[in-house]
Amino acid sequence: MAVIEVTKNNFEEEVLRSEIPVLVDFNAGWCGPCRSMRPMLDELAENNGKYKIVSVDIDEEDELVEEYEVASIPCLVVFKNGKETDRSIGLIPKDSIAALMED
Amino acid sequence: MYDIIIIGAGPAGMTAAIYARRAARSVLVLEAVNYGGQILNTPDIENYPAEAHISGYDFSAKLYEQAKGLGAEFIFEKAVGIENGNGKKTVVTVKNSYEAKAVILATGSASRKLGLEDEEKLVGKGVSYCATCDGNFYRKKVVAVVGGGNTALEDALYLSDLAEKVYLIHRRDSFRGEEANVSRLAARDNVEFIYNSNVTKLISDKRLRAVEVTNKIDGSVRTVELNGLFVAVGRIPENRNFADLVRLDDAGYVQAGEDCHTSCDGIFVAGDNRTKTLRQLVTAAADGAMAATEAVKYISNN
């Protein structure tokens, strides 16, 4: 499964009501570390069936940024059963991204 | 065994990889996070020869493809130490160890922290080390910049275009940074200077709400309510793991001249973690070329 682009219109369906855990990547096109991390997220999304990964463009999604109090990117937020369970700020290696989803 | 192991895949390390591969030496690049390094945080590079504008990410990606295309191997593991002996160097990472005839340290530097309680916990919740990365989240809000160098001044200028109010907190009564930046800041209505002062406490609930600022001269303490604190108090070189092998200066930089030789035979240094006066993309690349050339020479002679 590829990384899914999510907006405020489908955030509830794709993230909050998802039956599997979701990793939300808050990012922007001008953010170098975000772009650097994207190929790792693509790879992780393609190669597992246990969770999904979605991307939120913070320049387009003010409401989601406000609601989830994102104040620094890259920002990865883990959702399980509609609730935030973990969060990571900044560029991290692929192994650490995978580890976020493993407990 | 590799001919050369390069620790760090920033501009210095990846340039070293290019030079070493073109000298037909086998090369392993070890990187803790991902290729690019600090330059990833630069949205627009305007001072690299023959590239009027390029983003830090695009620059890194091109450099990575070039090094990889020439046959450099990349492994993403953090190097935690080097063992030196029997004519070889063993680089130990968090997972494995790798052997080489020569090593180039191109580990760069990290943002210096204030060292206050809860600082780490508040990163992404009001504390930031990169104004150009996170400034957009503070539109029409109140922020402070801590520091007195050019980075602090440029951060304050950048933020004053976005934020409602910018405090610039500096521990001295004058700035190390360029005078032109100081006067530009002084002309802004929404910038307030707080001199001779240190941030002594971060006040937060779930996120940062205020900072306690202590005046060094009269000891007075004031609370500044704000939404964001941008820390620009310099950088620290990432040399701790190698301090037992190569000589560092008082600030922690590897002591080496333009030839990039360290105090240890067969270990070279390239980029921001070396003692030097100008830390720029172009000088990092220059170091990479020099360190690789010297490493190749060392291997041929031993």
Residue B133 has pLDDT above 90, yes or no: no
pLDDT for position A48: 86
- How far CA B91 is from CA of B85, B238, B295, B302, in Å, comes to 11, 15, 16, 19
Annotation marks residue A75 as catalytic: no
The residues of B assigned a catalytic role are 130, 133-134
Total domains, chain B? 2
Among residues B231, B257, B275, which one ends one of the domains?
Answer: B231
Cβ within 8 Å, pair A69-B125: yes
User: Model confidence at A102, in pLDDT bands (50, 70, 90)?
Assistant: confident
> Nearest by CB to A36, which of B34, B43, B134?
B34
Specify if B116 maps to a domain.
no
pLDDT value for A57: 97
B189 and B260 inside one domain: no
- B46-50, B143-147, B227-231: range with lowest mean pLDDT: B46-50
Indicate whether B197 belongs to any domain: yes
Predicted TM-score (pTM) of this structure? 0.90
Q: Does B137 touch chain A (CB under 8 A)?
A: yes
Q: Which of A3, A34, A37, A101 is catalytic?
A: A34
Residue B46 sits in the same domain as residue B101:
yes
E-assigned strands of chain B? Answer: 2-7, 27-30, 73-75, 79-85, 88-93, 97-105, 109-111, 127-128, 142-146, 165-169, 191-194, 197-204, 208-215, 221-225, 228-231, 235-237, 267-269
What is the tens place of the pLDDT at every residue in B237-258?
999 999 999 999 999 999 999 9
* ipTM confidence score: 0.89
Read off the pLDDT of each residue in B91-111 and give the average, rounded to a whole number. 97
pLDDT of residue B252: 96
Domain boundary residue among B193, B213, B231?
B231
Tell me the CATH number at B296: 3.50.50.60
| Contacts with B34 from chain A: Cβ below 8 Å | 36-37, 40, 91, 93
Q: What's residue A41's pLDDT?
A: 97
Q: Which among A33, A75, A94 has the least Cβ separation from residue B40?
A: A33
Query: 80-99 in A: which are within 8 Å (CB) of B?
Result: 87, 89-95
Residue of A32, A65, A75 lying closest to B36 (CB–CB): A32
Q: Residue A92 — very low, low, confident or very high, per pLDDT cuts 50/70/90? A: very high
pLDDT band at B199 (very low <50, low <70, confident <90, very high): very high
Q: Closest Cα to residue B226, out of B143, B111, B294, B105?
A: B143
Confidence grade of residue A49 (pLDDT, cut at 50, 70, 90): confident
Task: Determine the residue among B125, B204, B207, B227 to mutate to test chain A binding: the one whose Cβ has the most chain A Cβ atoms within 10 Å.
Answer: B125
Q: Are residues B79 and B215 in the same domain?
A: no
For residue B132, is pLDDT > 90? no
CB contact under 8 A, A72 and B55: no
C-alpha separations of B2 from A100, B25, B73, B76, B88 in Å: 33, 8, 10, 16, 10
Res B44: pLDDT: 87
In this prediction, residue B295 carries a pLDDT of 98
Mean pLDDT value of segment B50-65: 96
Test A93 with B133 for CB contact under 8 angstroms: no
Q: Read off the pLDDT band of B283 (50, 70, 90).
A: very high
Comparison of pLDDT for A48 and B192, the residue scoring more: B192
Asked: is A4-100 a CATH 3.30.70.270 domain? The reply is no
Per DSSP, the three-state class of B180 is helix
* Span B221-232, pLDDT tens digits: 999 999 999 999
Which domain does B40 fall in, by range? 2-110+235-301
